[in-house]
């Protein structure tokens, strides 16, 4: 009786015709770029075991501690995946992909879920594309991953982007650095922001991430991870830098860049854009040499990235980049009467079989209304099917753009329409 109205959940949106074309075009670019870089697609379920995400991403991260859509069902604990790397690592281990030999080059496109407060460039269901190069420890792998990521943006036509680069070191580096940070910030504890004070003991590296006003002057004098890298980590970072320069890939060193997920080691990078507003990261990634082991596999080095598709779309819009427009049908059947409509229905499949995109009117409206609809839908041709035409087996084919008409037999239709 009463009309209940429904809408999407907060932070989740519908993609409608007119907008979806841009997404499809972008996905095509991603797939084609992946093909050229020889990354193969992997699709994992949108739900994972909660424990996998908690362990893989890290209990203390914001993602795990407060942003997961999770529920229990009997003995099982489900979570809508908040990111893509831990699930891919899980799949790598579960299916013994290491046994396939060499290193695995995987990419993915899909939805992810975080229960955050939505704002520009941040949705609760959002979409990422990303890639993982698993089983390669050298700096070349890091640079390959970065090159792949940047190639997508180059193909799309987004050029005003900045690659920020840092190293978070290996465990030994991080322990030394963490201790140095703790020693540095401890005497300043009372001057730190509340959030940073909490992190002093749990994860002092995250203080460097802080955008709190009062933390900025304190951050300036803080120790830099670069000075605490072990010789091995330092060598790896230097090698990445050398290779990036060799590849003419511009980047900026950012000593404060600390990625928010626990599994990162060594190289960390982020791609930022001035066109996004407050959430300025298009994507980011880095090396995660400990994750595979953390989720139950053999120690396996790996490096990857993830990029936000919604944010890429925002950048496209800001830059006026249109990747695709809605495509109209090749042929629109304008019909008079039931017999004509059935004739159209019977004749469309053969044309479609030849690759011609056909549609028709289903409402039996006036010829004028049908022509208007054909125009609105962007049809290249309209064919008029009435009693006279059916009797003569000759039909009027109208070129909508040229506004000229020819009379054709049904057999001639396809040749007239195909380019």
Partner RNA sequence: GAGCCCAUAGCUCAGUUGGUUAGAGCGCCAGGUUGUGGCCCUGGAGGCCGUGGGUUCAAAUCCCAUUGGGCUCCCCA
Q: Quote the strand ranges of 37-180, DSSP E.
A: 40-41, 47-49, 70-73, 76-80, 104-113, 125-134, 162-167
How far apart CA 122 and CA 131 sit, in angstroms, is 21
Alpha carbon distance 297, 374 (integer Å): 58
Q: In the bound complex, what is the minimum distance in angstroms from residue 360's beta carbon to RNA?
A: 14
Say how far apart CA 276 and CA 173 lie, in whole Å. Answer: 34
Residue 75 or 201 with smaller CB distance to RNA: 201
DSSP state of 47: E
Minimum Å gap between C-beta 301 and RNA is 19
As a whole number of angstroms, the distance between CA 204 and CA 222 comes to 11
CB closer to RNA out of 24 and 119: 119
Report the nearest approach of RNA to the CB of residue 8 (Å).
Answer: 7
- Which ranges of 71-206 does DSSP label H, i.e. alpha helix? 85-94, 139-156, 171-185, 194-202
With residues binned 3-state (H G I as helix, E B as strand, rest as coil), the percentages for the chain, rounded to 5, are 45, 20, 35
Backbone angles phi, psi at 308, to 5 degrees: -85, 125
Exposed, middle or buried: residue 245 (CB in 10 Å: 0-12, 13-18, 19+)?
exposed
Q: Tokens standing for 206?
A: 């995250």
Q: Residue 401: left (phi > 0), alpha (psi -120 to 50), or beta?
A: alpha
Q: How far is the CB of 52 from RNA (least distance, A)?
A: 16
386 Cα distance to chain centroid:
49
Other C-beta atoms closer than 10 Å to the C-beta of 185 total 22
The position carrying tokens 């230097």 is 238
Supply the minimum distance, in Å, between the C-beta of residue 101 and RNA: 29
Q: 212 or 412, CB closer to RNA?
A: 212
C-alpha closest to that of 381 among 362, 368, 399, 406: 399
CB of 98 or CB of 147, closer to RNA: 147
The contact set with RNA (CB under 7 A) reads 7, 9-11, 61-63, 83, 114, 116-123, 126, 128, 195, 206, 209-212, 258-261, 270, 277-284, 306-308, 310-311, 336, 365-369, 371-376, 382, 384, 386-389, 396, 398, 400-401, 403, 405
Closest distance between RNA and the C-beta of residue 132, in Å? Answer: 13
Minimum distance, C-beta of residue 124 to RNA, in the bound complex (Å): 7
By C-beta, is 25 or 400 nearer to RNA? Answer: 400
Nearest approach in angstroms of CB 145 to RNA is 14
Nearer to RNA, 249 or 390 (CB): 390
Residue number with CB closer to RNA (62 or 98): 62
- Least spacing, CB of residue 225 vs RNA, in Å: 15
Rank residues 98 and 151 by Cβ distance to RNA and give the closer one: 151
Nearest CB to RNA, comparing residues 83 and 170: 83
């Amino acid at each position: 009786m009463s009309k209940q109205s429904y809408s999407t959940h907060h932070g989740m949106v519908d993609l409608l015709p007119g907008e979806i074309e841009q997404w499809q075009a972008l996905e095509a670019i991603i797939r084609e770029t992946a093909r050229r870089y020889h990354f193969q697609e992997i699709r994992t379920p949108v739900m994972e075991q909660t424990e996998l995400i908690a362990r893989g991403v890290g209990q203390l991260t914001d993602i795990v501690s407060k942003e997961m859509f999770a529920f229990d069902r009997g003995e099982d604990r489900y979570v809508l995946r908040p990111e893509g790397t831990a699930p891919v690592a899980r799949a790598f281990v579960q299916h013994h992909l290491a046994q396939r030999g060499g290193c695995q080059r995987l990419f993915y496109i899909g939805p992810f879920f975080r229960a955050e407060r939505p704002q520009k460039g941040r949705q609760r269901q959002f979409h990422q594309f990303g890639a993982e190069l698993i089983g390669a420890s050298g700096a070349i792998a890091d640079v390959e991953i970065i090159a792949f990521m940047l190639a997508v943006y180059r193909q799309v036509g987004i050029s005003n982007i900045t690659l920020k680069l840092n190293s978070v070191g290996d465990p030994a580096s991080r322990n030394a650095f963490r201790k140095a940070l703790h020693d540095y910030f401890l005497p300043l504890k009372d001057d730190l922001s509340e959030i940073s004070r909490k992190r002093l003991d749990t994860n002092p590296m995250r203080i460097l991430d802080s955008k709190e006003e009062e933390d900025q002057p304190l951050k300036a004098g803080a120790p830099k991870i670069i000075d605490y890298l072990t010789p091995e980590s330092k060598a790896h970072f230097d090698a990445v830098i050398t290779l990036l320069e060799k590849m003419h890939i511009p980047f900026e060193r950012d000593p404060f860049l600390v990625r928010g997920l626990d599994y990162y080691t060594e190289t960390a990078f982020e791609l930022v854009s001035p066109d996004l507003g407050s959430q300025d990261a298009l994507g980011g990634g880095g090396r995660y040499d400990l994750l595979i082991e953390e989720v139950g596999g053999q120690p396996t080095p790996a490096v990857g990235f993830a990029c936000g598709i919604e944010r890429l779309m925002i950048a496209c819009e800001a830059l006026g980049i249109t990747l695709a427009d809605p495509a109209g049908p090749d042929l629109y059947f304008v019909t008079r009467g039931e017999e004509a409509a059935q004739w159209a229905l019977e004749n469309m499949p053969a044309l479609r079989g030849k690759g011609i995109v056909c549609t028709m009117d289903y409402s039996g409206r006036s010829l004028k209304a049908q022509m208007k609809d054909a125009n609105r839908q962007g049809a290249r041709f309209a064919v008029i099917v009435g009693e006279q035409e059916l009797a003569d087996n000759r039909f009027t084919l109208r070129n909508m753009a040229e506004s000229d008409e020819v009379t054709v037999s049904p057999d001639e239709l396809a040749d007239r329409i195909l380019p």
